[in-house]
Structure 1
Amino acid sequence: MESTNLQQAIKPTFILLKFTFGLLPIVAGLDKFTNILTDWEQYINPTLTGMLPFSAHTFMIIVGVIEIVAGIVVFIKTEIGGYVVSAWLALIALTLLVSFSYVDVAVRDLVMAISAFSMARIAKFVA
């Protein structure tokens, strides 16, 4: 398949990934302020909570801001944003695996990290 045809064929998938990894971090980040979707503090490794110099709620607000920024970066610079979101999701998964809590969420986050990484790689050729 010719390079231009391949780019055209992959473009709809790339756009879907871009909107997924742009919007979802923004929504999850905003929810850190409201806890409408879930009580996000339950996912913090208890060892980490004990090491924080501030409350778990403050930590989640900081996490929320980082997620919002990451989502915005995906929309502006998809390749860079994809790598940021991928690393962020992998880090979340690792903290869950270390505490061996919410292993199902950790696995899901690792799959999403791989997807975000794939989007970042594709961005070089499609964006």
Structure 2
Amino acid sequence: MLYLLLRTASTYTTCWSLLILINKHLLTLLPPVHPTRYGLDAECRALALELCATWENAWTHRPIGAWHMWFGLVVAYEWCAEDVQGWILGGLNWLLEEVGCAGWRWSGELVEAMGRKLMGEGDWMGSG
């Protein structure tokens, strides 16, 4: 049963993350005042909240693998309110601590850089 929950959470996370990335790309193609922009923006924000809720649920029912959720949290980050962004950073860094990674931490700047890299923009470490 836990394996099924893991697969479901991972599938939703990947699907919602890809939808956000596609919508984000579509937003770059639309004129600044196009009415479709508002719907795409709203969908990205709603999907970001679903990603956060899925991560929280996955972690509550561990060991089903909140480890697989970092991708969705990185994609969701820019679409969330500031307090939720802080929660995301805390979760990502907590996961690092759980696996014994003592020398590296996520920051808002690094999450945003990773988000840009996922869109094919700039350098992963934030230099572009």
**TM-score, normalised by the number of residues in structure 2:** 0.33
Structure with the higher helix share, 1 or 2: 1
The higher-RCO structure (CA 8 Å, 6+ apart) is 1
Looking at CA atoms only, which structure, 1 or 2, has the larger radius of gyration?
A: 1
